[in-house]
Amino acid sequence: MERVDVLVLGGGVAGVCTAREVLRRGRQVAILDRGRICSGSSYGNAGLIVPSHSVPIAEPGVMAKGLKWLFNPESPFYIKPRFDRQLLSWLWHFRRACTHERVRRAMPLMRDLHLESLRLFGALAEEVDFEFGARGRLLVCREERGLQAVAREADLMRGLGLEVRMLTGAELAEKVGDAVHFSSVGAAYYPQDAHVQPQHFVRQLAAHCAELGARVVEECEVLAIEGADGRVSCVRTTRGDWGAEQIVLAGGAWSPQLLGGLSMHLPVQPAKGYSIMVERPERCPNIPFMLTEAKIAVTPLQDEVRFAGTLELAGLDLSINPRRIDAMRRAVAAYVPAWTSEALRVREIWRGLRPCSPDGLPFLGRSAQWANLVVATGHGMCGLSLGPVTGQITGQLVCGEEPRFDLALCRVERFA
């Protein structure tokens, strides 16, 4: 049996950020991934760091707003019709979480986690070579109703102490100059948001960890996690058995499957998201922006532009639905008339599974059942943004330190 101080299950952003924090504290660490490093949802996401996204997805009114979308395969939010007990249970918990009280308690925590992650991204950029843009983010609206909703959310964010400025259509045009013409009535600008090239960041950080002494084992699928006397005793994989003083579960959407041998219930639903990577047009703004009503993020990167969006509850299904890709392309052209499908050169169409909890908060902390197991998953659409702070917290926990954040809302067994 191979043995290390800390064994990290998952080579996405949470896993590699955890490994770095463990290495900084002088401990041995190994990262195991079922595929290649950054082959899951960390690869093709929008790459956004979003203090502005401090309202959890489970908020009052979201069920009513989403009902018109639920069974439309082209909508931003889609549930594939099927009988699935785990999905039904998840939806029941989701509905219960959509209360003003839960949101009121969650927003300050999410703000603090995002802001600390933003700080950590800046610090990492001084050590590791990756594309990091601290230019803010625009929420672009086509309709007055959408602009009014964005303005109401902006008031909430100001109440949390975040910076935000509402822009008229003319002010938005002035902000981006001649880089692009929007079909828009206005926007909100969040200067504290930022972005990275996600797969470049994760892979560069993993290589940095390897240079510091981490063992990085790819194509290593976990077959079973076994426990005895309140501790995880063995992790059986396709590449041998592993033991460790501390185990970190950062397996994303596959995390619940890995816990079967420990009799743990972790209600994480895989939420499929899509992205379209296109060659960067000659005229393109440097600021990431959101097509607000369409729920599509647009991230300009060094030599490409990434359109990312949709949330599809379809289980562990990685098939590509062409109707959803076509809907994204039409939405982009509706906001940016020059960016038609014919005008843009597609480099890659991608899909991945985000790990979503019922209340929109991650499962982050030590298990109450298994003394040497720390869980770091369920981040939903904020996994990249919360990656460094997740790594900081899990690194502290496995090394016997007390995180400075109150993580009561993120308890691992809160839905047990």
Strand residues in 156-264 grouped as ranges (E) = 165-168, 186-190, 194-196, 215-217, 222-228, 231-237, 240-249
pLDDT at 69: 59
pLDDT one digit per residue (tens) for the chain, 416 residues: 899 999 999 999 999 999 999 999 999 999 999 999 999 999 999 999 999 999 988 777 665 555 565 666 666 777 777 788 998 999 899 889 888 899 999 999 999 999 999 999 999 999 999 999 999 999 999 999 999 999 999 999 999 999 999 999 999 999 999 889 999 999 999 999 999 999 999 999 999 999 999 999 999 999 999 999 999 999 999 999 999 999 999 999 999 999 988 989 999 999 999 999 999 999 999 999 999 999 999 999 999 999 999 888 888 999 998 999 999 999 999 999 999 999 999 999 999 999 999 999 999 999 999 999 999 999 999 999 999 999 999 999 999 999 999 999 999 999 98
What pairs with residue 3 in β-bridges? 243
Spatial separation of the C-alpha atoms in residues 229 and 231, rounded to whole Å: 6
Query: To which H or E segment does residue 174 belong?
Result: helix 169-176
Tokens of 396: 């502290």
Spatial separation of the C-alpha atoms in residues 49 and 45, rounded to whole Å: 11
Phi, then psi, of 307 in degrees rounded to 5: -105, 120
User: How is 247-260 classified by DSSP, letter by letter?
Assistant: EEE--GGGHHHHTG
pLDDT at 260: 86
Spatial separation of the C-alpha atoms in residues 44 and 39, rounded to whole Å: 9
Instruction: Of 350, 335, 349, 347, give the one whose Cα is nearest residue 303.
Output: 347
- With a CB cutoff of 8 Å and minimum separation 6, the contacts of 79 are 70, 71, 87, 312, 313, 314
pLDDT at 62: 63
Spatial separation of the C-alpha atoms in residues 207 and 201, rounded to whole Å: 10
Tokens of 189: 């600008």
DSSP letter at 301 equals -
User: How is 243-294 classified by DSSP, letter by letter?
Assistant: EEEEEEE--GGGHHHHTGGGT-----EEEEEEEEEEEPPSS--SS-EEETTT
CB 362 within 8 A of CB 379: yes
pLDDT at 210: 98
pLDDT at 68: 61
- With a CB cutoff of 8 Å and minimum separation 6, the contacts of 56 are 97, 102, 103, 106, 107, 110, 359, 360, 361
pLDDT at 202: 98
pLDDT at 304: 96
CB 313 within 8 A of CB 79: yes
